[in-house]
Structure 1
Amino acid sequence: MGSHVEEIKERLSIADVVGSYIKLEKAGANYKARCPFHNEKTPSFYVSPERNTYYCFGCQAKGDIFSFVEAFEGLDFMGALRVLAERAGVKLISGNWSKDSKKELLLKILDDATRFYEETLSSHNGAKSYIMNRGLTEKTLETFRVGYIPTDWRLLRDYLKQKGYKDEDVLAVGLIKKSDKGSSDPYYDTFRGRIIFPISDASGRVVAFTGRTLDEESNPPKYLNSPETNLYQKSKILYGLDKAKTDVRKRDYSILVEGQMDLIMSHQSGFTNTVAVSGTALSESQAEGSGLVLVSRLSKNVIIAFDSDDAGIKATDRAVRIALSLGMDVKVAHIQGGKDPADIIKGDKNAWGQIVKSAKSFIDFSIDSLATKRLDEKSFRRQVTAKVLPYISVVGNAVDQSTYVKQVADKTGIKEEALWEELKKVPAIQLGVENKPTVSSKSRGERVELIERKILGLLYSPKYFKGDETKRLLVERAVGPERWKILGALPRETISEFELEAEVSYGDDRNVETEWLELLYNLEEEYHKKRLANLLEELHSAERDKKTDTAREKMKEIDVVSRRIQELKKLITFL
């Protein structure tokens, strides 16, 4: 295994690998980026080609190309090895490089089962005609490794047994079940009489299956999924992500659909940035490695395109909340007539493209949907409060919340003050997890300190600004006089550390003036965000105590601060 690792490292530079996932900018001899492992706007993530390593000053994430791919794609070492070996053109020889031979055995069982299902489909004309009549091409069947299993009780089990696999290992990956009726042969196939869709992890290794019955009456349920196993945790996988991840990043948005057929047809029609929840589970947690977290690292933009039936509407509601809680920019596609994406694409793939193109922000979609019910004004406003504000409540960023509240006010005519008052009544827990900002207050404090450290290093370094008084005054204005008293009194040895860090980070970067301005604007933005959060609390307090004049003044201050934050964002964009 060691030779494989070294060969891959020789062929792939860390800048090329990391740069294929996130946007890198040159910073002297190094590269920098916004860290993909925690929320930030000022880059604190550095890649060193000389050391072949990466390090984040914000969250202390660090490692080489293997640990990066593991963390980014939610894979184990072997999964990362497979991804990088394929990219480097290194052929892995099975059997002599696995860290976990048991795990590799189980993965081999799943892959052999997939091959069996594929071969069985090709020899059963009825099943193949059924799936191709749904609109799939031969090439698509091959790409997604779609298969079939007849209704026989032990067809797959007998095949795997002939290949030398033990029943307990096949049972461990969910391909067979064990009867409790005391039979002499208690094992039987999990999937029977079904079209089989393999579910793969981000590296393309099959870890589970979904089976679609051909006869709901005699062989329910309509869809049957593999049980959770050591290889397959539903919350950590989105169907099709292994094939969609490159185009999600390239196009800078993902399309989230419900079913396997929806995804496969969407890919077949050219929307190869589509992922699906069928056979998996959107996690209510923002925990490392959950499916939608991995997608959000590739792009913060998502279009949710679920069915328009009651179940689809409920699933859309939940998906919107989860995506918003992850800091994603969420749009919803309007699908009419009770059809699903697969049906639409089969009928007219151009119609699907128009639906995706016409997707609306979650606020516009929700309010427009309510408008079609022709409610009286009072009922309409109550429904807006009940249906839309819970979405805004899960957004962790105070500035984004303020933006969304203003959008609702502009679209409905409801006063912002009234919306804020109702928003306070929305339960703090919406998803079964604590509703809190994606970045904790402690993390934000650490982020501010990081920016301050970089700014002071540039300000005082003899290589850069040499203590320029004009720039010092700009820093003081950004942080305020109270904070500057503390920063200005830092001991010389501390400033020396900051200078060294700046010189290592920026080297001979000719754009250091631009870097300085971006840091300065970001620092001022952070202090304004803190001020905005305090003002919102003061506003809520004034409204609670019915101090109308005070509340009005706070609203004016909030408007001023919000405008300055937006100005700073534009200034950063134009740099």
Structure 2
Amino acid sequence: MASPLEDIKARLDIVELIQSYIRLNKAGMNWKAPCPFHAEKTPSFVVSPARQIWHCFGCGKGGSHIDFIMEIEGLEFRDALELLARRAGIELKREDPKLRSEKSRALQLLEDAARFFESALHNAKDPQIRISPQLAYIKKRGLADETIKDFRIGYAPDAWDLLCRALRQKKYTDAEIERAGLAIKSEQGSFYDRFRNRIMFPIRDASGRVVGFGGRIFDELVNPKASSAKAIQEGGAKYINTPQTLVYDKSRVLYGFDRAKDEIRKANAVVLVEGYMDCVMSHQAGVKHAVAVSGTALTPDQLRILKRIAGTIVSSFDRDAAGELATKRSLDLAASAGFERKAALLPEGLKDPADAVVRDPALWQRTVREAVPIVQYFLDRALARHNPAAAEGRRTVAAEVLPEIKLLASEVEKAHWIQELSRAIGIGEEPLWRELAVAKTAGGSAVPPRAIPAPGRQEPNRRAQLESLLLGAVILNPAACREHIAAVPRHAIANDRNRQILETVAALMERDIGEHDALLAALPEELRESCRHLAFQAEVMLERIENAAERSNEILVCIAELEREWARERLRLLSQDIRQAERDRDQEKLKILLTEFQHLAEKIR
């Protein structure tokens, strides 16, 4: 029986699917376009109608229908599958129909609630008043009419159960309203509105569906002496959010992501702010790749979603300690996910991005544009707080900065910042490297946090491209490549899956399987899709070469170049080991390393 994904592939042509997002141009048997996932002038994004797959030869991303939707929409697998199923008119049978019906009802209920809040914001109680006090207030805060409309900002009236009564009129039950996070059951058994007298910010999923709300108390904003203001001063909640529900998972949703995802992809960066208002005002100011985390640290799930479409996180540090702590936790976790991290530093006197936008939108734009590497931020802050001319000051600066350096994934970056720290405090690099080895990260461990598996593919280096071309050529034409298969340097194949594919294909070729289709059919199912993709890449890259002899020679060149690239990478690692052996004064190890280095250097000349 075919899987839901196979049914979708059978019903949806991949060219038509991708053309609904970007413009494709015919190029021989395939279609081409500038890649939607990275900036480029020459089109390197290719779609194969014959194979029903796509690949970008610039950034290395590629796959089938589901991979494209996950990338372009910023969705997790299940959400992307549901979107494709809706487009294909396919029912996902694994989901309990009752549960699916309940989800649909919850989403419609939340949509009706959003309209209720919008209406309450725009309709004044007194017909003599042209604008409600709540709308007047948020416009005074700097929000434009278009922004209020785009983000669907509303108001929850100061009434006990007004929303509940309105939703009951639409035939929703009290239980449904409670499960959607909009009602609370009293001790007497009656239901009342969770959100009352609050400016309301609808929280939407990646597809733009309302899944929850954040509400900011209103009275305290305009009347510090109001009872609600006093409650906040005594520790009450200034903001409250929808609790965990069937459709709202706070660990996976980012406020503003539905509107920001395309801009995040274009910039290859996401601007991380703390509050709803910061996010909304950032978009109004033209910094549209901003999302909000609502005062909590980013979660691994949120980072996985962002990692698919961005490589850099730019974070605005809140001036209060609590905000900075949450931001710091987010950035530490982002380091383990492989993000480049930057800090956007607001001028003194401004506590958040919303304040900056109110003063001057260009100020916030410049702040984001001039964001500094996170290690630079902590180094500058430590130098401002402590005297680097004194022994205690040097020790404290190093203690504050080294954990940040330790979180860096790149050894080159670590070396750069060790050098910068050395210059800043007047201490040699060697003792700083020793301190780095035992430095503890924010979690209290001397070992950097375990990396979060990132769903996005890394931009391919030359060695990875050579691997793909070589394996794809073998899969595409096994008969012509049979004589070369033994010469492929197994030790130079860096990717474990590619190594598995090579050994499997080599074993099949020994059984005299020389046709492409026969080879694919004989492959284990778990490798078949990857092999189709590799063959497609090779087909596109070799299409300019029509002569069989020239194609065979191209394979030999590829084998030789792969060996050279492996040697270059090995030389880079040996250089690091040699430097460490020199620091350790290990003469015996140094001699062995230098001998291997010289041998490899001779091979690539």
- What TM-score bracket applies, with the shorter chain setting the length? 0.7 to 0.9
1:269–1:449: structure 2 CA closer, same or farther, 3 Å change rule?
closer
1:395–1:401 Cα contact (<8 Å) kept:
yes
Which residue is 1:275 aligned to?
A: 291
- The percentage of aligned residue pairs carrying the same residue is 29
Q: From 537, 545, 556, give the equivalent of 1:505.
A: 537
In the TM superposition, what is the alpha-carbon distance from 1:505 to its structure 2 partner? Answer: 3.1
| 1:287-328 deviation per Cα after TM superposition (whole angstroms, max 9, x unaligned) | xxx223222221202211132221232223222212221111
**Does residue 1:174 correspond to 2:142, yes or no?**
no
Q: What letter corresponds to residue 115 of structure 2 in structure 1?
A: R
Structure-to-structure mapping, 1:219-298, within 5 angstroms: 220-278=236-294, 281-283=297-299, 285=300, 290-298=301-309
Report the more deviating stretch, 104-113 or 320-329. 320-329
In 2, the alpha carbon distance for the partners of 1:557 and 1:274 equals: 52
With over 3 angstroms needed to count, the CA separation of the structure-2 counterparts of 1:55 and 1:350, relative to structure 1, is closer
**Counterpart amino acid of 2:287?**
F
- For residues 282 and 12 of structure 1, do their structure 2 counterparts lie closer, same or farther at Cα, with a shift above 3 Å needed? same
Compare 72-81 and 134-143 and name the one that shifted more: 72-81
Query: Are the structure 2 counterparts of residues 466 and 176 from structure 1 closer, same or farther at C-alpha, using a change threshold of 3 Å?
Result: closer
1:373–1:85: structure 2 CA closer, same or farther, 3 Å change rule?
A: same
Give the match for residue 131 of structure 1. Answer: 138
Range 406-415 or range 322-331, more displaced? 406-415
Q: Is the 8 A contact 2:73 2:261 kept in 1?
A: no
Where do residues 125-524 of structure 1 align in structure 2 (5 Å cutoff)? 125-179=132-186, 181=187, 183-185=188-190, 187-214=191-218, 215=220, 216-218=229-231, 220-278=236-294, 281-283=297-299, 285=300, 290-335=301-346, 336-377=348-389, 378-398=391-411, 400-409=413-422, 412-427=425-440, 430=443, 435-437=449-451, 452=467, 454-455=469-470, 458=473, 493=509, 504-507=536-539, 508-510=542-544
1:528–1:105 distance in 2 versus 1, CA, 3 Å? farther
Rg larger in 1 or in 2? 2
Equivalents in 2 of 1:415, 1:458: separation in Å?
Answer: 51
Which amino acid letter does the alignment assign opposite residue 180 of structure 2?
Answer: V
TM normalised by structure 1 equals 0.72
Instruction: Decide which moves more: 314-323 or 386-395.
Output: 386-395
- Choose the corresponding residue for 2:16, options 8, 13, 16: 13
Aligned equivalents of 1:422, 1:503: Cα separation in 2:
49
User: Once the two structures are superposed, what CA deviation does each residue of 1:246-302 show, in whole Å capped at 9, x if it has no partner?
Assistant: 11112232211111111111111111111111176511x3xxxx2232222212022
Residue deviations 1:2-43 (CA, integer Å, cap 9, x gap): 9x97999369635547879xx99x99848899999xxxxxxx
Q: Which has the higher contact order (CA 8 A, sep 6+)?
A: 1
- Please give the secondary structure, in 2, of the residue aligned with 1:13: helix
Rounded to whole Å, the distance in 2 between the matches of 1:321 and 1:261 is: 24
Task: Output the CA distance in 1 between the equivalents of 2:244 and 2:555.
Answer: 48
Rounded to whole Å, the distance in 2 between the matches of 1:403 and 1:496 is 53
Structure 1 residues 177 and 358, CA gap change in structure 2 (3 angstroms): same
Q: Give the Cα–Cα distance (whole angstroms) in 2 for the partners of residues 526 and 498 of structure 1.
A: 29
> Contact 1:196/1:211 (CA < 8 Å) preserved in 2?
yes
User: 1:121 aligned to 2:124?
Assistant: no
Query: Aligned letter for 1:205?
Result: R
Kept in 2: contact 1:239–1:277 (CA 8 A): yes
Kindly state the Cα deviation for residue 67 of structure 1 after the two structures are TM-superposed. 7.7
Structure 1 counterpart of 2:322, one-letter code: A
SS at match of 1:159: helix
Deviation of residue 98 (structure 1)?
A: 11
- Unaligned 5+ segments in structure 2 are 38-44, 90-96, 125-131, 221-228, 517-530, 546-550
Q: 1:521 to 1:184 in 2, by over 3 A?
A: same
Q: CA deviation at 1:456?
A: 6.2
Q: Structure 2 vs 1, CA of residues 455 and 506 (structure 1 numbering), >3 Å: closer, same or farther?
A: closer
Q: Note the C-alpha offset of 1:195.
A: 0.3
Distance 1:427 1:35 in 2: 40
Residue 101 in 1 paired to residue 104 in 2? Answer: no
- CA distance in 1 between counterparts of 2:409 and 2:514 reads 31
Secondary structure, aligned partner of 1:224: strand
Instruction: Measure the CA separation in 1 of the matches of 2:307 and 2:182.
Output: 31
Distance 2:383 2:397 in 1: 10
RMSD after superposition = 5.4
Q: Is the 8 A contact 2:54 2:64 kept in 1?
A: yes
For residue 69 of structure 1, what is the aligned residue in structure 2?
70
Distance 1:157 1:110 in 2: 12
Native 8 Å contact 1:13 1:52 kept in 2? no
The CA deviation at 1:381 is 3.3
Distance 1:270-1:429 versus aligned 2 partners, 3 A rule: closer
Q: Rate the CA distance shift 1:474–1:63 in 2: closer, same or farther, 3 A.
A: closer
CA spacing shift, 1:7–1:536, aligned 2, 3 Å: closer
CA distance in 2, matches of 1:35, 1:475: 35
Q: How high is the TM-score relative to the length of structure 2?
A: 0.69
CA deviations on 1:101-141 (whole Å, 9 max, x unpaired) are 21111001111100000000111411111111111011111
* Offset, 1:84: 10
Distance 2:417 2:320 in 1: 27
For residues 430 and 521 of structure 1, the distance between their equivalents in structure 2, rounded to whole angstroms, comes to 43
Q: Distance in 1 between matches of 2:256 and 2:409?
A: 29
Deviations 1:474-531 (A, max 9, x none): 9799789xxx9xx99x779269989966654322433999999999878766666677
